[in-house]
């Protein structure tokens, strides 16, 4: 806290999250553009499924199409994977380090020992404990993010009782409604610090999604 003495630990988490998301912005931007491209080439993907009934052949032709169009379908997975160590690190810092008590033995030699650590975010929220309001905000932000990132499910041309259509609908509902509920319970089950990181990250993602959509729309209009 000597570096930014005006900030409590919650503000530090917010600033840390924003720095991480800005560093990862090129990757996340690429992942979002990949999703948009895949959506754009859906007619071609549908033709491949109709033309090739063998699943291995479908996968081969699909990957060939992705390569031809410069699409990396694994970019989103890599973005999620790279953030896991950050979440684990925050969990260990706020739940295993003994904060606000400072253990000098685990600090690097070049790090000065702060006089105290304020764990109350904006003077209202103790981020070392579970917090329902923060968890609920995480759920709301997750729902908005999912709504922006997931395209509307089109089932107009599907027949009643179609297994694939029913499965797609089920997965769509789970991702849009069940996952935000799951996010609430996960963020509440850990700590306020993790919930604050998740909330800040989701809000950044919402702004990023709006930015990418607007940019993508402008590019389409100029073509």
Alpha carbon dihedral 67, 23, 201, 182, in 10-degree steps, equals 50
pLDDT of residue 41: 76
- pTM, two decimal places: 0.71
Residues 6+ apart with CB under 8 A from 180: 139, 140, 142, 143, 146
Residue 176, token pair as written in the block: 């849009």
pLDDT of residue 1: 46
Phi first, then psi: what are they for 208, rounded to 5°? Answer: -65, -40
Nearest to 140 by CA among 90, 198, 64, 87: 198
pLDDT in single tens digits along all 223 residues of the chain: 445 545 678 888 899 889 988 988 888 877 777 777 777 777 787 888 788 777 787 788 888 877 887 777 666 667 777 777 877 777 777 766 666 666 666 666 666 666 667 778 888 888 888 889 999 999 999 999 888 877 655 555 555 555 555 555 666 676 778 888 988 998 888 888 889 998 999 999 899 888 877 876 766 555 4
Residues 6+ apart with CB under 8 A from 178: none
In the block, residue with structure tokens 């895949």: 38
Residue 80, token pair as written in the block: 């999620």
Nearest to 32 by CA among 44, 23, 24: 24
Burial (CB < 10 A; 0-12, 13-18, 19+), residue 86, is middle
Beta-strand runs (E) in 29-141: 120-121, 125-126
The C-alpha atoms of residue 216 and residue 195 are separated, in whole angstroms, by 31
Nearest to 137 by CA among 213, 201, 76, 208: 201
């Amino acid at each position: 806290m000597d570096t930014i003495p005006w900030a409590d630990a919650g503000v530090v988490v917010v600033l840390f999250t924003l720095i991480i998301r800005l560093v990862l912005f090129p990757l996340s931007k690429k992942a979002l553009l990949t999703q948009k491209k895949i959506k754009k080439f859906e007619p071609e993907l549908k033709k491949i499924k109709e033309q090739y009934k063998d699943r291995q052949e479908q996968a081969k032709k699909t990957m060939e199409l992705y390569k031809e169009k410069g699409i990396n379908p694994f970019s989103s997975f890599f973005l999620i994977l790279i953030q896991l160590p950050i979440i684990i690190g925050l969990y260990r810092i706020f739940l295993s380090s003994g904060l606000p008590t400072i253990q000098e033995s685990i600090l690097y030699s070049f790090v000065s020992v702060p006089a105290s650590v304020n764990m109350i975010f904006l003077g209202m929220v103790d981020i070392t404990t579970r917090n329902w309001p923060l968890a609920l905000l995480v759920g709301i932000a997750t729902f908005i993010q999912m709504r922006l990132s997931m395209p509307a499910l089109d089932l107009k041309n599907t027949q009643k009782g179609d297994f694939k259509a029913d499965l797609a609908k089920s997965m769509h509902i789970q991702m849009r409604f069940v996952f935000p509920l799951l996010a609430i319970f996960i963020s509440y089950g850990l700590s306020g610090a993790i919930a604050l990181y998740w909330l800040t990250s989701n809000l950044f993602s919402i702004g990023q999604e709006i930015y990418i959509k607007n940019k993508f729309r402008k590019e389409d209009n100029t073509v």
